[in-house]
Amino acid sequence: MLSPDELAPVVPEPAEPAASSAPAKPSPFAAALTRMVASNPVQAAAEAAAKAAAEQAAAAAEAAEAEKAEEAEESAPAASSGSASASGSYQEYALAQLGGNASEFSCLESLWGKESGWNPNAQNPTSTAYGIPQFLDSTWKGTGIAKTSDPYRQIDAGLIYIDSRYGSPCGAWAHSKSTGWY
């Protein structure tokens, strides 16, 4: 226990500039607290155990939160970003159909991102344009694939049309940029 003299108010002396290499001198209150804890080893041990348990709980909570965020990131569908990276199963399928050609896929992603946002159910309200490639009914017929809600068949039909009409997705994208359609 502390004596009454040790608990008496302490008037601080004017602070002297501390040398950068010397450790800071503890305040009289901190010194008294340290002596009090040192004089009660049971309380000191309990405080140390509580601090360790709190640190362990905080670390476990942080790890759980990081794991939850990672799982959410893995399961969340990625949006089309206009970049050459394949995101989402439709884009991955299209990239595979292009033989993994990232340059051509970048053009295709831009083209169909503009046309439909890669939405297989996209419907133009002023025409018959439908699906990921936004084909008119007459365009569907020219690919040999019937108009369908199947996004993978839409991609197949779109690539057939692009290949036959423009030679490549970059050719179709260049035409679309200059005319507003493909």
Give the integer Cα–Cα distance in Å for 117 and 31. 67
Q: How many CB atoms lie within 10 A of CB 90?
A: 19
DSSP 160: H
Q: Is the pTM of this model over 0.85?
A: no
| Per-position pLDDT tens, the chain of length 182 | 555 555 545 555 555 555 555 555 655 555 555 565 556 666 656 566 666 666 776 677 777 676 766 665 554 444 333 334 455 699 999 999 999 999 999 999 999 999 999 999 999 999 999 999 999 999 999 999 999 999 999 999 999 999 999 999 999 999 999 999 99
Give the integer Cα–Cα distance in Å for 128 and 9. 87
Looking at this protein, which amino acid is placed at residue 177? K
CA max distance for the chain:
100
Q: Which two tokens stand for residue 66?
A: 């990081």
Q: Which two tokens stand for residue 170?
A: 């970059």
* 14-47: b (≥16 Cβ within 10 Å) or e: eeeeeeeeeeeeeeeeeeeeeeeeeeeeeeeeee
